[in-house]
């Protein structure tokens, strides 16, 4: 994984609302970076569908470079999925003096996450899962917490393998196994291609999704519904009017109407109609 130059690092940190005159590569600074990232940059697939149509339909060629990523974050409110978010966040962390390696989590579409070693200890870092993982996590501990209407548990399954289970209302809705051995970005090339399969059994190519955290709540859009989940309540707002939905998506995530139109039209061409 490459590092980035000072100007790019400065731009990234400013988009996070942080002072480029940072301190040492400490655990507390890493915790701040992770928390801010999840509250400023959305997990979403509007950009995934756009890059599929306009960049490439396979592998690393599909993934935007850092300059494109930051430009689209600034101008269009885009973040991305795990491949985009964690790869570029890892580059930022490396430029700030952290020791960063890529790891994978298997189960469904293969997930890309980060292993960040700071102050001699390795931590699991993940800003690309749409999950309330607000701090670096030590996998040496059995982890269990409830945040933003979601229950997260991470348990050791075997040597270098950890199961991460996400639940809502006591029901598991996604489970993956983290493989704690570092891997190269090139090793994800085929996995990215698989995640871009334009097929009905590939959910992230058949729906619009976005998640961003605000004020101790998760704001998650799935197609024409917005879920607002706090520790105590869950609100569900359904939009039947396309213009009202676009206004909500712009207000909540910062997405432009034209980009949303492209995503809706992509689904519509595949028989998925969100609005009358």
Is residue 158 in some structural domain? yes
Tell me, what's the pLDDT at 1?
65
Pairing between strand 111-118 and 161-168? unpaired
User: pLDDT at residue 215 above 90?
Assistant: no
b/e map 70-80, b = 16+ CB within 10 Å: bebbeeebbbb
| pLDDT tens digits, 148-167 | 999 999 999 989 999 999 99
pLDDT confidence bin for 21, thresholds 50/70/90 = confident
Pairing between strand 225-229 and 217-222? antiparallel
Is residue 233 in some structural domain? yes
pLDDT confidence bin for 22, thresholds 50/70/90 = confident
Is residue 1 in some structural domain? no
Is residue 276 in some structural domain? no
CATH code of the domain containing 105: 3.30.2140.20
Average pLDDT over the chain, rounded to whole? Answer: 96
Span 4-19, average pLDDT: 94
Is residue 76 in some structural domain? yes
Span 221-235, average pLDDT: 96
User: pLDDT at residue 170 above 80?
Assistant: yes
* Whole-angstrom distance, CA of residue 84 vs CA of residue 69: 8
pLDDT confidence bin for 24, thresholds 50/70/90 = confident
Tell me, what's the pLDDT at 152?
97
Span 221-230, average pLDDT: 98
| pLDDT tens digits, 90-116 | 999 999 999 999 999 999 899 999 999
Span 73-87, average pLDDT: 98
Domain count, the chain: 1
**Cβ–Cβ under 8 Å, residues 93 and 114:** yes
User: pLDDT at residue 23 above 80?
Assistant: no
**Cβ–Cβ under 8 Å, residues 50 and 60:** no
b/e map 218-248, b = 16+ CB within 10 Å: bbbbebbebbbbeeeeeeeeebeebeebbeb
Does pTM surpass 0.95? Answer: yes
Name the residue among 15, 16, 37, 44 with its Cα closest to residue 260: 44
Is residue 275 in some structural domain? no
Is residue 40 in some structural domain? yes
User: pLDDT at residue 3 above 80?
Assistant: no
Structure-token pair, residue 52: 């599929």
Domain of 124 in residue numbering reads as 6-269
**Cβ–Cβ under 8 Å, residues 51 and 84:** no
Instruction: Supply the DSSP string of 253-268, one letter for each residue.
Output: H---HHHHHHHHHHHH
Is residue 153 in some structural domain? yes
DSSP strands (E only) in the chain = 43-44, 99-106, 111-118, 121-125, 143-147, 150-158, 161-168, 171-183, 209-214, 217-222, 225-229, 234-238
């Amino acid at each position: 994984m490459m590092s980035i130059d000072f100007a790019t690092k400065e731009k990234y940190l400013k988009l996070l609302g942080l002072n480029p005159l940072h301190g040492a590569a400490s655990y507390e600074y890493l915790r701040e970076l992770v928390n801010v990232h999840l509250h400023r940059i959305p997990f979403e697939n509007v950009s995934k569908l756009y890059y599929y149509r306009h960049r490439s339909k396979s592998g690393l060629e599909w993934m935007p470079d850092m300059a494109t990523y930051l430009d689209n974050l600034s101008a269009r409110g885009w973040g991305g999925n795990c491949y985009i978010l964690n790869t570029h966040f890892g580059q930022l962390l490396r430029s700030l003096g952290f020791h960063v390696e890529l790891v994978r989590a298997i189960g469904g579409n293969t997930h890309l996450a980060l292993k960040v070693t700071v102050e001699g200890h390795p931590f699991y870092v993940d800003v690309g899962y749409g999950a309330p993982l607000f701090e670096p996590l030590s996998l040496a501990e059995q982890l269990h917490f409830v945040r933003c209407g979601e229950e997260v548990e991470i348990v050791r399954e075997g040597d270098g393998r950890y199961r991460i289970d996400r639940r809502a209302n006591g029901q598991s809705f996604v489970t993956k196994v983290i493989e704690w051995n570092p891997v190269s970005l090139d090793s994800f090339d085929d996995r990215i291609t698989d995640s871009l399969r334009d097929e009905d059994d590939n959910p992230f190519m058949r729906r619009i999704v976005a998640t961003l955290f605000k004020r101790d709540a998760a704001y998650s859009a799935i197609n024409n519904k917005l879920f607002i989940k706090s520790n105590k309540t869950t609100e569900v707002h359904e939009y039947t009017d396309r213009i009202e939905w676009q206004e909500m998506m712009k207000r909540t995530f910062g997405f432009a109407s034209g980009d949303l139109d492209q995503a809706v039209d992509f689904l519509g061409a595949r028989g998925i109609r969100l609005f009358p």
